[in-house]
Chain A
Amino acid sequence: MMKKHTWLKYSWLMVTMLFGMIIFNTTTAQADTKEPHYVIATDTTYAPFEFQGQNGQYVGIDMDMLRAIAKKEHFTYKLVPIAFNSGAQGVLSGQFDAIIAGMTITPEREQVYDFGTPYYKTGIIAAVSPKSNITDLKQLRGKTVALKTGTGSAQYALSIQKKYGFKVTYFNDSNTMYNAVALGNAAAAFEDDPVMKYAIKNGVKLKIITQPANGGEYGFAVKKGQNKELLAKFNAGYAAIKKDGTYDKIVAKYLGSNESKFAGSAKENDSILGLLKQNKDQFISGVIKTLQLTVFGIIFATIFGVLIGVLAVVPNKFAYGLSSTIIYIFRGLPLLVLAFFIYIGLPSLTGTKIPAIVAGLITLTLNEGAYIAAFVAGGLKNVDAGQMEAARSLGLPYWKAMRKIIMPQGIKLMIPSFVNQFIITLKDTSILSAIGIIELTQTGTVIISRNMQGFRVWFIVALMYLIIITLLTFLAKWVDKKFSSN
């Protein structure tokens, strides 16, 4: 009786080991330093405070400042670029030690965060499309205004919403919000003064219609009552760079010069080939991340899905119940919700941090695995019952019959569904950009946040997905052929 389950055990062992290897890989990168090490979140697209430079490194006022302070105060950190709202929540759940992301200090936020010395004074401005004849907030009555989720500017806009009578819609990054206004999907956008100005200077077609209002201040934030040492180091370092002029130099570098050097040359931005050449390294690393997620996602999801699918056909009520519950839950949850739950929700419960890539892979494994389990169960049920009877009548134990007789026939029936699921998995990896994994889609967002070339960059990204999907389909067809000729 013991022998029956050994291959199941082996499969589980393999899954846990592979997951373990990934976790191990991502955490050993930071070993062996005597200096304290922190994980710090930042926004992915908030130029000029944080955005990816052409060499792929994060630059901007926040980034340069953090680098200078870390050097002065002798600490190291791992930077996690992630959508602002997820980053802010991640600090509260313990996933990150701190966040620096042009974060306005507000009384509400001060109830849950401890802020460092305010380092930048800002105001909120509104902008409209240059073609628009709106010149005053009063003209926004009845119109829709674009806001960025969870930001101070959004809060400000809401505070004046009653007075001016506009409707609101939300976006997760600044560039998409600008485009919504430029394309006429929204009448106006509210954003922090330096951010909006930097974007306009770099080619975003918007017109500012208000003076900076509701002056706020940016602060470096940790969870209330936590990471006191890091906060103290930040404050000491900030005081030092303010005193020796480093801070002013950094701000001047991004906002002082009339001509921006960060968006790339205008000539190259004008052609797709030029954009490709200019952002080659970023695109390559984005494609590699996407492929990694896809390949490992497919492997883990297949192992998980086959196990759960087989459980559904075992003549055992408990196994069937377990299997259908797992399929019900993970097929029912939207991938994005599952990703947020694992990456941001679980660490608040358990207190252990999960690297984004591991959270992403677990998400794919559970979600895609549930779909795989459903069609594996269906495929196995479609194998004629006489096959199992014939195998058992020869004296083969259940699991041996399952493995040698039922599974090879069932899997053949499932091949088209597998190919389909693999393509879906590839596309679903793009959703994981929301938890800060810089895969292909996020690479597109990040490049656009610097050069504002929305159409051309998304065109390139779309083309790359199609190429990968074509290759994947070819590979699947080849495997299918091998399988059926065998």
Chain B
Amino acid sequence: MGIKVKVTDLHKAYGDNEVLKGINLEVQENEVVVMIGPSGSGKSTFLRTLNKLENPTTGSIAIDGIDLTAKETNLNKVRENIGMVFQHFNLFPHLTVLENVTLAPVELGKISKEEAKTLGMQLLAQVGLADKADAKPTQLSGGQKQRVAIARALAMKPSIMLFDEPTSALDPEMVGEVLKVMRDLAQEGMTMIVVTHEMGFAKQVADRVVFFADGYIREEGTPEEVFGNPQDPRAKDFLNKVLNV
């Protein structure tokens, strides 16, 4: 059990507006960390700093011991190892479903086109979409799109997966199929960091729940601790609102 992610005193500001005010977090190998909190609390921004889609203002991020804030770090190499799933899927609309999945490993010379095709079909089968291999993203439902996006990220064989509100843009009846894929991944031992509003998923799947508010981590613990007996007043208030609708 090694440390996959180590974040130390991370700050992020847009001009005068500081959205992350000193975040410290460690994530162990095979751990599933779910980040919850009100909108604008900084959890998505924090997730995006973990593969440098956002540049932190100060502080340090180490992934597998590699310092992302160091100038000599090859970000492309680091990113190959970190899969990311976005709220709005961001599938490549000009490519087929299979091409979406195989593009990165082929373009980066990881595997041959034939191998990529086999791998791609295997991943699409894993997310239940083998029959959609030749479809264009526009022909898919939201839930199907997000499952393709997960398969696309997995094609690079990452050792960490980041999920940025993966079900927020979905119709309610499609949330389940995406969460199932994510649950399967967790069971296989993938290290996952998930920003979500799905409290049920957090309770069932998370090893640890992290509560964000106002750019700080206010509360942290097992699902039982955080949901059952929150200490921070903001966390209490938030959970009270989302759990008792």
Contact surface of A with B, Cβ cutoff 8 Å: 384, 386-387, 389-397, 400, 404-405, 408-409, 412
Contacts A/B (CB < 8 Å), 24 sampled:
A386-B86, A387-B90, A389-B53, A389-B90, A390-B91, A390-B92, A391-B92, A391-B104, A392-B53, A393-B153, A394-B79, A394-B80, A394-B104, A394-B152, A395-B79, A395-B104, A395-B156, A396-B76, A396-B104, A396-B107, A405-B92, A408-B94, A409-B93, A412-B94
Structural contact, B92 and A389, CB atoms closer than 8 A: no
Contacts of A405 in B (CB 8 A): 92
Complexed CA–CA distance, A395 and B157 (Å): 12
Complexed CA–CA distance, A397 and B84 (Å): 16
Complexed CA–CA distance, A384 and B87 (Å): 14
Complexed CA–CA distance, A161 and B83 (Å): 82
Known: A389-B53, A389-B86, A404-B103. A395 touches B94 (CB 8 A): no
Contacts of A409 in B (CB 8 A): 92-94
Contacts of A386 in B (CB 8 A): 86, 88, 90
Contacts of B53 in A (CB 8 A): 389, 392-393
Structural contact, B90 and A394, CB atoms closer than 8 A: no
**What is the CB-to-nearest-CB distance from B103 to chain A, in angstroms, rounded to a whole number?**
7
Complexed CA–CA distance, A114 and B173 (Å): 91
Among A384, A389, A395, point to the contact of B76 (Cβ < 8 A). Answer: A395
Complexed CA–CA distance, A400 and B153 (Å): 17
Structural contact, B82 and A393, CB atoms closer than 8 A: yes
Beta-carbon contacts under 8 Å, B143-160 to A: 149, 152-153, 156
Contacts of A408 in B (CB 8 A): 94
Answer yes or no: B241 CB below 8 A from chain A CBs: no
Contacts of B79 in A (CB 8 A): 392-395
Structural contact, B153 and A394, CB atoms closer than 8 A: yes
Closest to B162 in A: A393
Contacts of A412 in B (CB 8 A): 94
Contacts of B104 in A (CB 8 A): 391, 394-396
The 3 A-B residue pairs with the shortest CB-CB distance, nearest first, are: A395-B80, A390-B90, A394-B104
Complexed CA–CA distance, A387 and B90 (Å): 6
**What is the CB-to-nearest-CB distance from A405 to chain B, in angstroms, rounded to a whole number?**
6
Complexed CA–CA distance, A394 and B116 (Å): 15
Contacts of B88 in A (CB 8 A): 386
Contacts of B149 in A (CB 8 A): 390
Answer yes or no: B245 CB below 8 A from chain A CBs: no
Closest to B103 in A: A404
Among A393, A400, A404, point to the contact of B51 (Cβ < 8 A). Answer: A393
**What is the CB-to-nearest-CB distance from B198 to chain A, in angstroms, rounded to a whole number?**
21
**What is the CB-to-nearest-CB distance from B54 to chain A, in angstroms, rounded to a whole number?**
10
Mark interface residues in B60-94 (1 if CB within 8 Å of A CB, else 0): 00000000000000001101111110101011111
Contacts of A395 in B (CB 8 A): 76-77, 79-81, 104, 108, 156
Among B76, B92, B103, B152, point to the contact of A397 (Cβ < 8 A). Answer: B76
Complexed CA–CA distance, A234 and B242 (Å): 99
Complexed CA–CA distance, A400 and B77 (Å): 14
Complexed CA–CA distance, A409 and B107 (Å): 18
Mark interface residues in B32-66 (1 if CB within 8 Å of A CB, else 0): 00000000000000000001010000000000000
Closest to A412 in B: B94
Complexed CA–CA distance, A153 and B80 (Å): 77
Complexed CA–CA distance, A404 and B92 (Å): 10
Structural contact, A384 and B80, CB atoms closer than 8 A: no
Complexed CA–CA distance, A35 and B180 (Å): 87
**What is the CB-to-nearest-CB distance from A438 to chain B, in angstroms, rounded to a whole number?**
44
Closest to B108 in A: A395
Complexed CA–CA distance, A283 and B84 (Å): 62
Complexed CA–CA distance, A389 and B86 (Å): 9
Contacts of B76 in A (CB 8 A): 395-397
Closest to A486 in B: B94
Structural contact, A404 and B107, CB atoms closer than 8 A: yes
Complexed CA–CA distance, A387 and B51 (Å): 16
Complexed CA–CA distance, A393 and B149 (Å): 12
Closest to A401 in B: B107
Contacts of A392 in B (CB 8 A): 53, 79
Closest to B77 in A: A395
Closest to B104 in A: A394
